[in-house]
Amino acid sequence: MTPGVGVAAPGGSVRQVSDLRRTPLHSRHADAGARFGPFAGWDMPLHYGSPTGEHMAVRERAGLFDVSHMGQIEVDGAGARGFLAHALANDIDEIGPGQGQYTLLLADDGGVIDDLIVYALIDRFLLVVNASNIAACAERLRELRDRGEGDVRVNDRSDEIAMVALQGPVWKSVLSPHVATPQPLTLEYFQITEDMVGRVPALVARTGYTGEAGVELMCPWDDVPGVWDALVGSGAAPAGLVARDTLRTEACYPLYGQELGRDRGPIEAGLRWAVDLDGARFAGAERCVRDAADGTPERLCAFALDEPGIPRPGLRVLHDGDAVGAVTSGTLSPVLGHGIGLAYVRSDLASAGTPLQIDIRGKIKNAHVAKRPLVDTSGTKE
């Protein structure tokens, strides 16, 4: 753990924050003028001066995020694939070496422990999990492993692996001077390969959390500053967690702790596509099958404001004056120029076009259920 560090509060005062971990890029962020704040036990860069500017850099050019706080858990052994078919909600048999898959790790009652990406490598599987859930994911995987039989090893390597995300339409021109082979530049969406980035061995995955084209790079913890410097030197703009949040909200990507949690199942969260209901081999499947067949009281939807206002998590959602749900994520969209967000609402009101109202500190603002994603970047996926 690091000593206490001062974090500037919105009013300009300094709030003491102790026992926050630092990524190996912390000094790079400080040198670039980052404003820091606590996130999932880490002292993370929130922005470097203009969150909107960082957001638009990702949408129009290329931005670079430090996501070294996220977790990496390896699963290997002769029984690894069969084990993960039971542990993870999506159908892992659909991916082979060099491919990744968005999936979920569920509790026995079907609540979401984490949403994650699993990559099939040549000799092992790599699970990239949310920073706040590393311990919970490792514990759950070991619990499920110990219930079964076979040769399966679960190894939490989060303290050894650093991660950065290069996102935006010109990501290839930023990365190309630094890779040893052309292979990272030819990856299709959700593919992964190993290459040298500069002088650093790295896994390069064609994934991201912004809705834009790009890659996520994983490398040894102590070597990531060289990767960061190379990509910034080629034109990537450092971007912080504020821009990462507004980008993922425009793309309608769920965030654990807001759209997802132990009290929510995948079906009500709109993640039926990430659940193998046909095989239903996974722990927690019973609830998912039931929810898919019977429906759920609430469903996650995207919404857009029809008048000025900025929605925030926790605000009431109304329909004809009656409370019908709550905002889980909300922001002012830099691209669209108006308020947007995600909310759980009564299921019969979750269809696109349904009129809603958002109660913003006692002021009722008209809104409507919007089609997802709120900002369409599908053309950038190549």
Q: Where are the domains of the chain?
A: 5-66+161-249, 71-156, 297-372
The stretch 274-288 carries a mean pLDDT of: 97
The pLDDT value recorded for residue 11 is 31
The pLDDT value recorded for residue 149 is 77
**Choice among 1-5, 164-168, 369-373 with the minimum mean pLDDT:** 1-5
Q: What is the pLDDT of residues 101-133, one digit of tens each?
A: 999 999 999 999 999 999 999 999 999 999 999
373 touches 252 (CB < 8 A): yes
Strands (DSSP E) contained in 149-271 are 153-156, 161-167, 192-197, 200-205, 214-220, 237-238
Tokens of 110: 């079907």
Interatomic CA distance for residues 230 and 160, integer angstroms = 21
Residues in the chain: 382
Strand 71-76 versus strand 153-156 pairing type: antiparallel
Backbone angles phi, psi at 369, to 5 degrees: -65, 130
Strands (DSSP E) contained in 274-376 are 298-305, 316-319, 322-332, 339-346, 355-360, 363-370
> To which H or E segment does residue 137 belong?
helix 134-147
* pLDDT higher than threshold 70 for residue 242: yes
Tokens of 114: 């984490």
How sure is the predictor about 362, in pLDDT bands with cuts at 50, 70 and 90? very high
Listed residue (340, 320, 322, 323) closest to 331, CA to CA: 340
**What's the mean pLDDT when you consider all of the chain?**
94
* pLDDT higher than threshold 70 for residue 380: no
Interatomic CA distance for residues 7 and 17, integer angstroms = 7
* pLDDT higher than threshold 80 for residue 157: yes
Q: Is 74 helix (H, G, I), strand (E, B) or coil?
A: strand
| Partner residues linked to 37 by β-bridges | 44
* pLDDT higher than threshold 70 for residue 36: yes
> What global pTM score does this model have?
0.93
Task: Identify the CATH class of 297-372.
Answer: mainly beta
* pLDDT higher than threshold 90 for residue 18: no
In the DSSP assignment, the letter for residue 261 is S
* pLDDT higher than threshold 90 for residue 316: yes
Contacts of 341 (CB under 8 A, 6+ apart): 249, 302, 303, 311, 327, 328, 329, 330, 331, 358
The pLDDT value recorded for residue 239 is 98
5-66+161-249 is a CATH 3.30.420.40 domain: no
The pLDDT value recorded for residue 329 is 98
Q: What is the pLDDT of residues 64-74, one digit of tens each?
A: 999 999 999 99
Share of the chain above pLDDT 90, in %: 92
Share of the chain above pLDDT 70, in %: 94
| Partner residues linked to 115 by β-bridges | 104
Architecture of domain 71-156: 2-Layer Sandwich (3.30)
Interatomic CA distance for residues 162 and 179, integer angstroms = 18
Residue type for position 370: A
* pLDDT higher than threshold 70 for residue 335: yes
The pLDDT value recorded for residue 7 is 26
Report which of residues 8 and 93 the model is more confident about. 93
* pLDDT higher than threshold 80 for residue 245: yes
The stretch 181-206 carries a mean pLDDT of: 97
Interatomic CA distance for residues 90 and 127, integer angstroms = 13
The pLDDT value recorded for residue 122 is 96
Q: Is 364 exposed, middle or buried (0-12, 13-18, 19+ CB in 10 A)?
A: middle
The pLDDT value recorded for residue 14 is 31
Tokens of 118: 């699993």
Helices (H) and strands (E) in the chain, counts: 8, 21
The pLDDT value recorded for residue 1 is 25
Strand 112-120 versus strand 161-167 pairing type: unpaired
Q: What is the pLDDT of residues 39-49, one digit of tens each?
A: 999 999 999 99
Listed residue (205, 207, 209, 204) closest to 243, CA to CA: 209
The pLDDT value recorded for residue 150 is 81
Calculate helix-pair angle for 51-60, 241-251, nearest 10 degrees: 50
Interatomic CA distance for residues 7 and 13, integer angstroms = 9
The stretch 309-334 carries a mean pLDDT of: 98
Q: Is 253 helix (H, G, I), strand (E, B) or coil?
A: coil
The pLDDT value recorded for residue 377 is 83
Interatomic CA distance for residues 240 and 294, integer angstroms = 41
The pLDDT value recorded for residue 379 is 52
